[in-house]
Structure 1
């Protein structure tokens, strides 16, 4: 039996590819874990943009937490810092 790689509540993305044309990835939250299908764990996932849940196998998903952490680090590195000057009055 294969272990589930993603946790309930974790943000994941499902790469959206149509043939050789890559379109925007779809973002989801894991809402439940299900038994494996064809030796790949299954998940219930939901998008903020959809009213229904989907059932997908683990090989269809990618974690996005690392990408978000990298974006936060870049924002902190390049964000303008607010400088407070002393009041001279």
Structure 2
């Protein structure tokens, strides 16, 4: 079983926006880890500016700058 790489409250960016509406957010905050799907961890995400949530696989996310 895979462990989750991101933590609650961490900012992440979608690696690709292919297939998403142009109005879809690109950056999100991790709200909660979810059970793995096909052996890939997934997360519940939230963008407060657009009041938009979604679920994404870990492989589709990258951290937003930590420097």
Higher helix share: 1
Q: Over alpha carbons, which structure has the higher Rg?
A: 1
Q: TM-score, normalised by structure 1?
A: 0.61
Q: TM-score, normalised by structure 2?
A: 0.78
Runs of 4 or more above 4 Å deviation? none
CA RMSD of aligned residues (A): 1.9
Structure 1: gaps of 5 or more residues: 20-24, 70-89
Higher strand share: 2
Greater RCO, CA 8 A, separation 6+: 2
Structure 2: gaps of 5 or more residues: 20-24
